[in-house]
Amino acid sequence: MKLLLAAALCAATATAAAAQAAPSTAVPLPAPRRAGPMSLEAALWARQSVRALARDSAVALADAGQLLWAGQGVNRPANGHRTAPSAGATYPLELFLVASRVAGLAPGVYHYRPATHDLEPVASGDRLKDLVDAAVHQAWVSDAAGVIVFAAVPERAARFGPRADRFVPMDVGFAGENVYLQAAALGLATTFAGSVQDTAAVRVLGLPAEAHPLGIMPFGRPR
């Protein structure tokens, strides 16, 4: 993991020369909530794909952190296992947050670290417009308060041989549905979008070569 993060920071410097240098200090997230006003059944009933996002509304840092925790957070600290299942607990996914209007968080690209439930800065400055271009110009993405980016390091699942090509997409499905349900419980809107140009996304996020972008979930207040 340490090697992956170091590579991400180096790639961000080399490929995003126009961006300001990102601060080196990790941003702690509020502790994830374990209870809320909405039941699982109600969240399942409310879950839907919503692209109509309130353009000028911000999302609280605690809510952004809750979405990330739902996707890949640790729910069993004793062994580091997470909220979403993964074949053999290999956890090939890496989640990034592209923050635009997250209250209390400077705009920029951040890497979510499940073990410490915090954000490691990758690149500073609002990169939302660049991400819209990477997402084949889906204009609705520009209305998001933030975007969760799902990337994977397939080599972590290499022990499964050819089946790794099957298991990694399953991980994305599990994690994405968790984010959907958490968004519904928080009264937020989101949609999973798989149409992302790999090369452009790598440039925007400063991903290392071994991490492959698989999809994005822009989120915000419903319009």
**CB 168 within 8 Å of CB 86:** no
Least reliable range by pLDDT among 39-43, 98-102, 182-186, 208-212 = 208-212
pLDDT digits (tens, 9 = 90+) for 160-186: 998 888 999 999 999 999 999 999 999
- Residue linked to tokens 């126009």: 18
**C-alpha span between 197 and 202 (Å, rounded):** 9
d(CA 156, CA 173): 17
Domain ranges of the chain: 2-18+38-220
- Of 51-65, 105-119, 159-173, the one with minimum mean pLDDT is 159-173
What does the pLDDT look like over 121-142, one tens digit per residue? 999 999 998 888 888 878 899 9
* pTM assigned to the model: 0.88
Query: With contact defined as beta carbons under 8 Å apart, do 80 and 1 qualify?
Result: no
What is the rounded average pLDDT for all residues in the chain?
A: 88
Instruction: Domain 2-18+38-220: state its class.
Output: alpha beta
